[in-house]
Structure 1
Amino acid sequence: MDFRHEWKHEISYLDLLTLRQRLRAVAQADPHAVDGKYLIRSLYFDTPSDRALREKLDGVSRREKFRIRYYNGDTSVIHLEKKSKLGGLGNKQSAPLSVPETSALLQGGLSWMTDSGRPLVRELYSKIRTQQLRPRTIVEYTREPYVCPAGNVRVTLDYDIRIGLSCEDFLNPGITIPAGDAPIILEVKWDSFLPSVIHDAIQLEGRHTSSFSKYAQCRVYG
């Protein structure tokens, strides 16, 4: 399993404007973005005892979480993802899901998972059975992404964080509401090294690495 370095910072709107100007000068816009951004909707899984949430809030070094995600309201491409953390390092594994599979999972239909040729699907099935993982929260936000080939760097600005109150509505449009006074999040990911030009561009006075979690922010509501 390959891990990447990850930094996360809470920033202000003024910081966002400053970083946007700097990043446009030293990095490239993500070619997959539409008008420089895209909308992300994720459905997070957790146990009845909120294991993933508690481990995040307690700062447990080695932890994992499962989620389902799609972009820009387009349900023709849906992914099951497992996010693993080890200190300041992160890894993401992904497997495609169809709309019928996702709908079945939202309704508790699991029989299709046992014969899946996708190891990640079978792993989720196993943990649904053994750990009682279940859908807990819908999180939606706008992401402004920048990339730099050197170091395989990805810098994202996430804002307008919203929540869906009913997990069964995950595939339905227009079901989210603002998630309170959520901050703007700067996230930086890279492989073996972070180029100095990017390091310098993201420096903000008084900002430090944060453990902010969009999942934890939205769990305040249920």
Structure 2
Amino acid sequence: MQFRHEHKHYINYLDYLVLRRQLKAVMQPDVNTDEAGEYHIRSLYFDNYRDVALQDKISGINHREKFRIRCYNKDFAFINLEKKSKINGLCAKIKANITKGQVEALLAHDTDWMATSSEPLVVELYSKMKSGQLRPKTIVDYKREAFVYRPGNVRVTIDRDIRTGLFSTDLFNPDLPTICAGDQQLLLEVKYDNFIPAVIADIIQLDGRRQTAFSKYAASRIYS
């Protein structure tokens, strides 16, 4: 598992316009980007009856993890199960491809197939659903612009229109009713391995921006 640096910063619309122009000049767009220069992300997060993932985030627990199912552009032909871990301020993500039919089975409480999956991550989720009572909890939708830069394995994203499906787990409903998840701000995220190249650092100017511990999942739970 590769742990990476991850920094989040609130930016205003003027920041966004300047950053977007500069990032496009030196970085490549993410492969998921559409003709408008962005893509839609929908994630279904897991938690248990004690909201352990939410409480660990709010409390700033040093070693924590969360599971989610994620799809892009409301295209349900490609779906990932992901586990995101955070230790000592560094983040790591592992993922496994799963099918729409498998997700539908999981949502219908048919999980026996998970125990014999060839994907270790699916088996791990199954174990934690049994031992820790993890269950699908809520949906988060948002739009993202993403840029990549090979040296340092840098990834810069700008997220907006972050919305929550409240108590819904209806992942495959393209018309799922959602509402804004808290204050609507633009969120800049910068991820890299061991170093961030000067050309990117100069554009981002990390020291001059207000860093935040914002969590899309935590924001989606403000009403519940």
User: Could you tell me which residue of structure 1 aligns to residue 193 of structure 2?
Assistant: 191
Is the 1:135–1:167 contact (alpha carbons within 8 Å) kept by the matching residues of 2? no
Alignment of 1:32-47 (within 5 A): 32-35=32-35, 36-47=37-48
In the alignment, the residues of structure 1 paired with residue 163 and residue 33 of structure 2 have an alpha-carbon distance, to the nearest angstrom, of: 19
1:201 counterpart = 2:203: yes
Displacement of 1:205 in angstroms is 7.4
More divergent stretch after superposition (55-64 vs 178-187): 178-187
For residues 108 and 204 of structure 1, the distance between their equivalents in structure 2, rounded to whole angstroms, comes to 44
RMSD of the alignment, in Å? 1.4
- 8 Å CA contact 2:182–2:222 kept in 1: the answer is no
SS in 1 for 2:86: strand
Which runs of no fewer than 5 residues in structure 1 stay unpaired? none
Which residue identity does 1:82 align to in structure 2?
K
The normalised TM-score by structure 2 is 0.94
Aligned residue for 2:105? 104
Comparing 52-61 with 162-171, greater Cα deviation is found at: 162-171
Is 2:129 the partner of 1:128?
Answer: yes
With the length of structure 1 as denominator, give the TM-score of the two structures. 0.95
Once the two structures are aligned, what percentage of the paired residues are identical? 55
Q: Which whole-Å deviations, capped at 9, do the CAs of 1:31-74 have from their partners, x for residues lacking one? A: 33112211000000011111111111111111100000000000
**What runs of 5+ residues in structure 2 fail to find an aligned partner?**
none
Letter in 2 for 1:131: G
Contact 1:7 1:88 in 2 (8 A): no
Query: Which whole-Å deviations, capped at 9, do the CAs of 1:174-208 have from their partners, x for residues lacking one?
Result: 21332242321100111121001101101267523
Which stretch of the first structure deviates more once superposed, 13-22 or 156-165?
13-22
Equivalent residues of 2:143, 2:162 under 8 A apart: yes
Which residue of 1 is the match for residue 2 of structure 2?
A: 2
Letter in 2 for 1:215: Y
